[in-house]
Amino acid sequence: MTEQHTHAPMRSSLGRAIGLGSAKEGVTHWWRQRVSALALVPLTIWFVIGVIGLAGADHATFVAWVRNPMTAIFLILLLIATFYHTALGLQVVIEDYLEREWARLATLLVMRLLSVLFAVRGILAVLKLALGA
């Protein structure tokens, strides 16, 4: 320990040991952002290659693509990872720029709601196509 305290430290020994900081969540947000980013690297590359192959494709070709079980699985994983990562990223932007408590909270709630809404809409669309309903 190189730290020297000339007077009482601001942080208690217990607080230092638990290591969660003032926001009470420690590195949780940071870590989740990295893990979802790592998952998105292969998923995004797979998706972009797929979309380029589908340029100008008709409906039947598109449906045949989604009906492939691997496509459906990867699309659903992509949607989950994308909206999770998006919500984490937008949260930081909102917390950085919205100072007023109520505005920040309201925007965070709306953003989370829309993220879940779009994710579920996307997953349902993939399931409907994949299961041929």
**C-alpha span between 47 and 53 (Å, rounded):** 10
Please tell me whether residue 75 binds another protein under the rule CB under 8 A.
Answer: yes
| Residue 128: burial class (beta carbons within 10 Å; 0-12, 13-18, 19+) | exposed
Among 8, 55, 70, 102, binds another protein (CB under 8 A): 55
Please tell me whether residue 67 binds another protein under the rule CB under 8 A.
Answer: no
Q: Which tokens go with 98?
A: 């919205």
Taking the least distance from each CB to another protein, the nearer of 105 and 124 is 124
Among 89, 105, 106, 116, binds another protein (CB under 8 A): 89
Cα 72 to Cα 47, 63, 84, 102, distances in angstroms: 11, 10, 18, 40
Please tell me whether residue 100 binds another protein under the rule CB under 8 A.
Answer: no
Among 12, 18, 62, 110, binds another protein (CB under 8 A): 62
* Residues that bind another protein in the complex, under the rule CB under 8 A: 34, 37-38, 40-41, 44-45, 48, 52-53, 55-56, 58-60, 62-63, 66, 75, 79, 82-83, 86, 89-90, 93, 118, 121-122, 124-126, 128-129
